[in-house]
Amino acid sequence: MKGVGPPDPQGRNLSDSVIRLHIERTGANGVGISMQPADWFTPYRKTWLDLTDLDLASAGVLLVPNSPYLFAGGKEGMLYVLARDHMGRFDDSTAFDSASVNGHFSDDPIGRDDPRRDNLVQKLRVGVNQYCAARPAESFCLGDNQSYPPGVPPPGVTMSDWIAWPHIHGTPVFGTFGNGRAFVYIWPEKDFLKSYRWWGRRMGPEPLLATKLGSTQRVMAPPYLRGVPGAVGMPGGFLALTIDAAQPAAGVLFASVQRCRAFNNDAALHECSVSLCETAANCSQQRFGMLRAFDPITMQEIQGFQ
């Protein structure tokens, strides 16, 4: 659920929260419906997430089959693992001073991030801005402490086009295979398609990265193109998984994603890369949708359909 407003430990303002509703019929004939929050989760850094447009609600909620757990993620690139019967609510033990982030967009405005204050099962960064990993001098990249220089956003960068964080837009998907293997799949913007091993209560910290058809090259969301409005790697990939019940070790992971191609100075058509497209003058972007298919165990690409 997206929205603005101060977080409330009493559950009266539940914007940027995951909510479990208690629903019951009301009225003499049961024609009415009453919905009340039974439990919820609000990130303890919720005010800062609002101020920096990093709302929790950009990705949907994934319920893990045959378990008491669920996943939720958002623009910060974090994936939260919550227990459905004890979601964590909100920790208000430390007041948040909005003036502390005025002109200083930092990943730890009220101290170093402390996942224990979120009262959840697991909090894992699953999105990483790979464009900055390749070219850390770019104006939209953050420093080592995930912040701009104090008080000075880079010239020309405003909150309306601020793209440092790898947003999660597509809801993760979950699959269980033979021999007790289970995986969570996710494709944030500006990052690789990846899978995480699920161990029944927590995700393994190291993902398996998808590789392109017939090669070992990693599969990344469309790149940032300098001087081309809107070409910032959004929105990542939207995933779906199918598993053959008769062959539990077999399945296909589908990804709907933008494909970016560009004409370089030599007029040849190239797949866009972070290193290729420097300016709009020598890289005329073309974007179109593409359905790609991957082996959900090995994460090797099977086929792409444009």
Kindly report, residue by residue over 34-84, the tens digit of the pLDDT.
Answer: 888 889 998 888 877 777 778 887 888 999 999 999 999 988 888 999 999
Within 10 Å of residue 200's Cβ, how many Cβ atoms?
9
For residue 9, pLDDT beyond 70: no
pLDDT value of residue 231: 53
Separation of alpha carbons 19 and 70, rounded Å: 11
Strand partners, 96: none
Q: What is the mean pLDDT of the chain?
A: 75
pLDDT value of residue 274: 44
Torsion angles phi and psi, residue 36, rounded to 5: -130, 145
Kindly report, residue by residue over 89-137, the tens digit of the pLDDT.
Answer: 887 766 555 444 444 444 444 455 677 788 889 999 898 888 776 665 5
**Can you give the C-alpha Rg of the chain in angstroms?**
21
Kindly report, residue by residue over 18-41, the tens digit of the pLDDT.
Answer: 989 888 888 777 778 888 888 999
Average pLDDT over residues 160-185: 83
Q: Higher-confidence residue: 203 or 143?
A: 203
Residue among 208, 178, 205 nearest 192 (CA) = 208
Q: In what order do the strands lie in the sheet with 62-63?
A: 62-63, 69-73, 78-83, 122-125
Q: Out of 177-181, 186-190, 251-255, which region has the weakest mean confidence (pLDDT)?
A: 177-181
pLDDT value of residue 44: 84
Percent of the chain with pLDDT over 70: 64
Q: Where are the alpha helices (DSSP H) in 59-103?
A: none
pLDDT value of residue 154: 47
Q: Out of 83-92, 122-131, 203-212, 284-293, which region has the weakest mean confidence (pLDDT)?
A: 284-293
Separation of alpha carbons 162 and 141, rounded Å: 10
pLDDT value of residue 298: 93
